[in-house]
Structures are given as C-alpha cells and as structure tokens.
Structure 1
C-alpha cells in the first residue's frame, strides 16, 4: 500500500553508469515501493522505464550533455516532475543535480543521501582550487536546504558534521546494500576459476576498484614485491578502469611483477559474483575518503573474506565478523604483511558461511530499503 511518494534525483542509472551512488539509487528504486514508498526518479542517462516495482525512472539529459545543458535540463525536468507527481518529499543523491531543484522545492522536504564529499574527493584527486571551491559551494547550497541526511557510515557522518556544519541530530546512518542472493553462487572456487579461465592452484587476491589515486592501488602493487617472497605463487587480479591504469601497468613492469599482477580492466557487473567466488581473498587498500566500500560487501556476500585498510567506513563493513580483517595501516608494508598473514594462516579469517550470514542479516537490500523508508517517514513527520 502506498504510504508516501518520493522524487529521487540521481547522477546516473546503474545499468548504464557504474558507481556507488548509482548502485544505491538503482536498488532503492527497486525496493522502496515494497516498503510503501512510491518512487519517481530522474537521472543522467538514456533510461525511460517503469520498473517491476512500479518505480518510474526518466533521464533529464544524455551523459554527453555539456554542464550548462545538464543544469538547464535538470531544472526543467525537476520542476515538471514536482508539478505532475507532487511527491511528498525529494531525495537527492548528487548535489549538482539537486541544486537545480532548489527554487522549485518551496516547502517540500529534502533528504540528502550523502555518498561522499564531492569537493574533498576532487581535491584528493588533484583538482584545482577554484574547481574544489565551486563544488563545495554547490554542496553547501543543497545541504543548507535539507531537513535530513542519510550517510553510509559513521566516518561520513563525522565529515558531514565537521566539514559541512550539519547538526548530528539530522544525520541518519544507513549503510549500503547488496542483493545477497545474486552473489551466493553454487559454484565452488575451482569451478568459478575454470569458468573465468583463472589459474588453479595459485592463491588469488582480487580487488575491484576504480583506478584513481585514493583507492590505494599503487600501494597494493608495491606490496606484491615483498608478498611474492613470502607466497611465491601469489596472483593479484585488479578489476576496474580509470586514469591510473597506465601508471599502474608501468609500476608492475618496473617491479618485475608481470607474473604476479593482472589488470583486467572493466569487468561487467554480471561477471563480478563469479570473480569474487573465484578469489581466495579480496583486498580494499583505500587511502582516503572511503565512505563505505561496496565491493567489500559484495565479496562477503560471495563468501570470500576481505581485508580492508583502517580508512573511513571500511572497518564498519566487516564489524561483527570473527576475524582480523582490518589491516594495520595503508602503506605497502602493512598491506603486504596483512595479506601474507592471511594467506599463510597466521591471521584469522571468517568462514564463507559467516560472511554470507552477516550480509543477509545486516546488508541485504530489503533490510536497507526498510531503514531508508523509516528515515523518509521521519522527514515527513
């Protein structure tokens, strides 16, 4: 039964654009209607469809549109949706999209899904000072208008309060989710490797990352130089693409790690469950601003333990598991030592059933959608 309605404003549509914010938007559109929240959504992309859940999703501009055209199209589309659907509240997943909606909101409640500090992330990737300041201004304009905030972790709640001045009582923590059934495959590790063409009999590490500096891939590659001395046949498989790909490949060559590190490039989302299942261990070597770590959760859903650096919300993902899954630091030595201990049995790792059970209990999408719906109802009350 419909209890309330929401207009979701996103960055992209997950089947078309892969990212954490897009993943959350996509799955909330699928699961919120089952919690009594009718959903209309606007995103950058080419989507125009009504989902099986009843959610209606439309794009306001193609991904190739210039920034001025995007903003103008978003303003027009949002004003039209507010007039036609008259939703009870608006939920923003990206500040640049939502800023166009501010004049049309009037007294309608606005909930912000804070997926990360846009300006701070840009600064960490080397953006210019003017670009960072403009992004921070856009964020502040949207955040000053919001009545509630949803964050993925306590770490991002702290950033929201300390760097953006949001009162803590307006912040709710709802972690990211995963479709548990999709990752719980019947394949054995051996069968998964055979299907992927990965070698049998070698310890395989997997990391699924966007290839940018703050993800820590340079440190992870550096750690392999020492790790191969302790575990001679170890293999690191890196799934993902990004601007650091060429630099990482050069680093692999300079260290003589061609037989120990493989850059796979983009791996389709449909193949990821099998890749997680095929690995002995996943590693999240993030260096900064990791609000949650969805790929760590996906690995656990597949029954594969994951080692994480003590950054942002990563320790919160593995909290409650019986194992030593948080690395001592973010540098190559700490990563290499932790992985070596895990592969040689010195470091405790949870079993596959424990990993899957944690995900089903705390992170399955119906659980996350119910918690999100509760925040929306609180904003309306």
Structure 2
C-alpha cells in the first residue's frame, strides 16, 4: 500500500517550544507503517524543526517555507496578512500535488482538518485526516447566520470526502457536536523502546542534576492554556517547606517571560529552572530524573502525550481533570482542579516525600506505535483512492 502522509512543521511554535504532539504522532505513525507492508512517503509543509531530532529516519520531503516569513505574515496588517496566508496555502497545495508519490498514492493521510480542507480544494476524496487539536473553530457561532451557513458547507464537504480520526473520546464527542463525526478513535502512541523506566541517579548524572534535589517537572508549551502560573504558585508554597526542592520547566512559548517574572515575584526564581528546548530523543532522562511530573492544563487536552511519556518512564504523575483520556485508562493518577493550588501542593508534597507511587502502567503496551499503526492500516482499507492521480481543475 502506497501511503502519502502530509503534515506541517509547527512554525508558530519553534523547535525550542516543547514537543508538538501532532507532529511527533504523524512521524511515529509513518515510522511504524512499513513493518505492516506500507510504502510511506512523508511530506512536511515547512522547515525542518528541532523536534525532528532522532525522528527523521524516513527521509521526509520538506517545503522549505522560512519560519521568519510566517512571523512576518502574522505581524502584517490584516489585508497583507490575508494575502500572505493565501499565497502560502497556494504554494503548499502546488507542492503537495506535484510530489513524486502523490499521483499513485493508495492512501493520503493528512494532519488536521485545516489541511484536509485545503487539500480538498485540489483533489477528490477519500482522504484520511487525524485531527490533533481542539474543535472550537469548527462550531457555528449561533450569532451570524451567513457565516454559519458557509461553515456548514465547508463541513459537509469534509464529511463527504474524509475519514476523520479522533485521538480521544472527548475529542470525538466535540467533533460529533460540530457535525464532523469521527470514523475511528485512535489515540497517539508511544515508543516503548525509548520511553522506559530508568535509574534516577544515573539519569541525574547524565543531565548534570544534583542527586539530593527534589525535582518537580513540567514539559510542554508555555502558553495560557497550559496553566503553568498556577503550578508556579503551588510550587512557591511548598518550596519554603521542602528543602532542596526544584521546579524544572522544559519548553518555551509566548508566556515564558511572564512566567519568569512570576517566579521572581513569588520569590522562587532561584529554585525554578527554565530549560531551552529538549529534543524528543532526550526527554526520557528528564522523566527518569524527576520525583514527579505535573500537567496543570486548564483547558481540555485532546490527548496528553506528556502524561503518557511520564507513565511509561515510571515517573509519578499529577494531572488536572482536563486530561480525561489519561484518567480513563490510568485511574490511579491523582487529578486536581486546574486552579486548586492547595490540591497541587498536597500531591506534590506527597511525591517529594516519596509517598506518590508511579501509575500502574499495565495498559501502556496498548499505546505502542506498532499497535496504533495497525489500527490506521485497517482504516486505510476504507480510504483507498478512487481515480488516484486525478487533480481537480479548480
């Protein structure tokens, strides 16, 4: 089966800004499919980003769209910004439809509804689309009838030409509410040869971390929906009571500077370390070194890869109630409300005193990429191209 996978480089969140789950997921699916007999071509719309480190053994093709140009488009006046985005979209479509593996692909698999909609401007279905993000922009406003009618037409076209994959049951419900029912629910996977338990002291020596520190770990984007400021506030409350406690923040994003100021305001800047981007292939050592990992998200996580990685590495974990997929499959993971500072403090205190055990990971094998890829291979059977190579004249 000849499979063309199309994804975007996350230029809006540069390589230093955490690990983009959707991009990592598409790459890992592409790596796992050949063992099932699939011939895979992977196309990345955008420059090679740092998070590809250790994951680009498939030799993907890139559209070398410079990241600085994305920044310029975003900062431009509205009319120029709209024109720039249209130009970028046309170039992307032109490049995709001229790929060597495009005309004879048995299956086309796209990351995200936006790219699926764009591709359907030039090709007929069926295509497979895994939607890794939230669904809010696909919901009608209820206040603008004309806009809602236009959105309904767009949704109808996607629904008629795409096999939609939700990455979790909560997301599947949101898609159904948007009149975009999922054909399948297939969660992301994890490389169980890479994310494994390890010796804490060895991991700390590898990372140059003191053996006597009590380490709280955050991994991910630094953005408002990640609620890291509440984690900082909670940590400030326990750092004065627990000697040698440290908060490691791995990632970057738009709220980094605000969070650094918050650490100073809270008086814990000496006990909080902001790390630059850590490549995907080096993350396991951080989970192995930490006493506890925390996911403080205040908005629904469609699926939380960080939580899955921590569980696989045997790192005790605290989450909020905004990660329902993890809490369903790993019910012994403690959860608190997003702004429950005392709840965070109670759980972190238990972890730093060795009273919070790692989650029961007996179900972690269900998330192996080989098993996830098999689910996609089964879905592909319903999405073989009819009239492959036919490109619309639009």
Asked whether the two chains share a fold, i.e. TM above 0.5, the reply is: yes
C-alpha contact (below 8 Å) 2:113/2:130 kept by paired residues: no
Among 322, 338, 343, the residue aligned to 1:334: 343
Residue in 1 aligned with 2:23? 22
- Residue 311 of structure 2 is aligned to residue 300 of structure 1: yes
The CA RMSD over aligned residues, in Å, is 3.3
Among 1, 4, 9, the residue aligned to 1:7: 4
Cα drift, residue 330 of structure 1: 0.7
- Residue 207 of structure 2 is aligned to residue 180 of structure 1: no
Residues 34 and 138 (structure 1 numbering): CA distance in 2 closer, same or farther, change over 3 Å?
farther
Q: Equivalent residue of 2:32, what SS?
A: helix
C-alpha contact (below 8 Å) 1:61/1:73 kept by paired residues: no
Cα deviation code 1:180-203 (max 9, x no counterpart): 111226x52112112212122222
Residue in 1 aligned with 2:235? 224
For residues 154 and 133 of structure 2, the distance between their equivalents in structure 1, rounded to whole angstroms, comes to 11
TM-score normalised according to structure 2 size? 0.79
- Residue 175 of structure 2 is aligned to residue 165 of structure 1: no
- Residue 126 of structure 2 is aligned to residue 109 of structure 1: yes
Residues 138 and 31 (structure 1 numbering): CA distance in 2 closer, same or farther, change over 3 Å?
farther
- Residue 118 of structure 2 is aligned to residue 100 of structure 1: yes
For residues 331 and 93 of structure 2, the distance between their equivalents in structure 1, rounded to whole angstroms, comes to 49
C-alpha contact (below 8 Å) 2:155/2:179 kept by paired residues: no
Residue in 2 aligned with 1:252? 263
TM-score normalised according to structure 1 size? 0.81
Equivalent runs, 1:1-381 vs 2, <5 Å: 4-12=1-9, 17=15, 18-46=19-47, 57-64=60-67, 65=69, 66-81=84-99, 85-106=103-124, 108-117=125-134, 120=137, 140=155, 143-162=158-177, 164-167=178-181, 170-184=182-196, 187-311=198-322, 314-321=323-330, 323=332, 325-331=333-339, 332-344=341-353, 348-350=356-358, 354-355=360-361, 357-359=362-364, 361-380=365-384
Greater RCO (Cα-Cα under 8 Å, separation 6 or more): 2
Cα deviation code 1:72-130 (max 9, x no counterpart): 12221232248853222322203343333213322x31221010126559xxxxxxx9x
Task: Decide which moves more: 333-342 or 60-69.
Answer: 60-69
Q: Which runs of 5+ in 1 are unaligned?
A: 122-128
Q: How many residues were matched structurally?
A: 351
For residues 218 and 57 of structure 2, the distance between their equivalents in structure 1, rounded to whole angstroms, comes to 35
Q: Equivalent residue of 1:74, what SS?
A: helix
Cα drift, residue 294 of structure 1: 0.8
Q: Which runs of 5+ in 2 are unaligned?
A: 49-53, 70-83, 139-143, 386-394
Cα drift, residue 362 of structure 1: 1.2
Cα drift, residue 210 of structure 1: 0.4
Task: Decide which moves more: 333-342 or 215-224.
Answer: 333-342
For residues 335 and 208 of structure 1, the distance between their equivalents in structure 2, rounded to whole angstroms, comes to 16
C-alpha contact (below 8 Å) 1:33/1:53 kept by paired residues: no
Q: Which has the higher helix share?
A: 1
For residues 44 and 73 of structure 1, the distance between their equivalents in structure 2, rounded to whole angstroms, comes to 10
For residues 56 and 267 of structure 1, the distance between their equivalents in structure 2, rounded to whole angstroms, comes to 22
Residues 183 and 111 (structure 1 numbering): CA distance in 2 closer, same or farther, change over 3 Å?
same
